[in-house]
Amino acid sequence: MKKTVGFIGLGRMGTPMAMRLLNAGHSLCVFDIIPDAMKPFEEKGADTASSIKELASKADVIITIVPADKHIYDIYTGSDGIIDNAKEGLLCIEMTSAMGITLKKIKQYAEEKAKNISFVDAPVSGGVDGASNGTLTIMVGGEDKDIESAKPYLEILGSKLLYSGKLGDGKSVKMINQMLNALNTAAAAEAMYLAKELGIDTSILLDIVNNSSGGSWVMKNNVPKFMLTGNYDSGFKLGLMTKDLRLSASEADSNNLDLPLVKQALKEYEEAIAMMGENVNYNSVFEWVKNHNKREENKNEGN
């Protein structure tokens, strides 16, 4: 018997992901709090649900990708949520970039309710283009048997499935990757600002750095594409990167850890949002570095 796949969260990432599942021939039921987001799916023959409760009562597999941890909790543990209204043997694939502890707590909630539900966490990297083309990198955490059950769906959504460990570890690995990305970007922004102030040819600098120990993915790809062009209209948004960096700060606080670089970078990203808004590309932190130094120069001139 054909399984029904429920999909919750039809945002910039969720919509193309869900559409790939529908186009691959899966029986799909979708839900989003914005009714208009469901219309393209209804027009293509997918089922639409008026509530999470309705979707949960129909689906054999549920995939969720929503803004943040709070939304995950609400969707899964609310009185009209997934767990209280799930079919027997439900498989849940949670793909939001969030804290690893979140899904562990949700699984515990399901166990306390004596619900036979399996969970896999599977956050993604690759952006909207990757979601549209099925080329996402997916960091998968969970029990082996549950991951095997999830693979037929995940393989439609991504070209790289990376085993990350136990349930929740996929989210933690994604979080740490984003933390490094944010820190590398902040460091690259300062390096490029210093180079320009010293009158160094940036193309020569990049060639040398990217063949030396200071090189990084950011220096090779994002510096020439964004920082050196000043075009921040496309790609991963500053608000989303700040949200992801905030996850690392929260995890550190929860575990009584001190991560000074994360704290400093988060401050810079939050100030960059105040300066330019959330919707520019996150490499625009370079503009914050330039503006910050101009402010410091003006302060010194005023003394």
Domains of the chain by residue range: 4-165, 172-302
pLDDT at 79: 87
Closest CA to 251 of 196, 184, 172, 183: 172
pLDDT at 302: 63
Question: Using 50, 70 and 90 to split pLDDT, how confident is the model at 90?
Answer: very high
Mean pLDDT of the 247-269 span: 96
In this predicted structure, the answer to whether residue 263 has a pLDDT above a threshold of 80 is: yes
State the burial class of residue 65 (Cβ atoms within 10 Å of its Cβ: 0-12, 13-18, 19+): buried
Cα atoms found within 13 Å of the Cα of residue 162, Cβ hemisphere only: 16
pLDDT at 296: 72
In 3-54, beta strands by DSSP E: 4-8, 27-31, 47-48
The DSSP annotation for 215-257 comes to --HIIIIIIIIIITTT--SSSSBHHHHHHHHHHHHHHHHHTT-
pLDDT at 47: 97
Residue 263 parent element (H or E): helix 260-276
CATH, range 172-302:
1.10.1040.10
pLDDT at 303: 57
Mean pLDDT of the 58-75 span: 96
Rounded Cα distance, 9 and 2, in Å: 22
Percent of the chain surpassing pLDDT 70: 98
How is residue 39 written in tokens?
């219309």
The catalytic residue positions are 174
State the burial class of residue 25 (Cβ atoms within 10 Å of its Cβ: 0-12, 13-18, 19+): exposed
Rounded Cα distance, 87 and 167, in Å: 21
pLDDT at 61: 98
- pTM confidence score: 0.91
Least confident of 177-181, 203-207, 246-250, 298-302: 298-302
Task: Give me the chain's average pLDDT, please.
Answer: 95
Task: Specify the fold of 4-165.
Answer: Rossmann fold (3.40.50)
DSSP state of 99: -
Mean pLDDT of the 252-273 span: 97
Q: What is the pLDDT of residues 133-159, one digit of tens each?
A: 999 999 999 999 999 999 999 999 999
CA of 266: how far to CAs of 154, 179, 186, 243, 262, in Å? 32, 10, 10, 9, 6
pLDDT at 1: 66
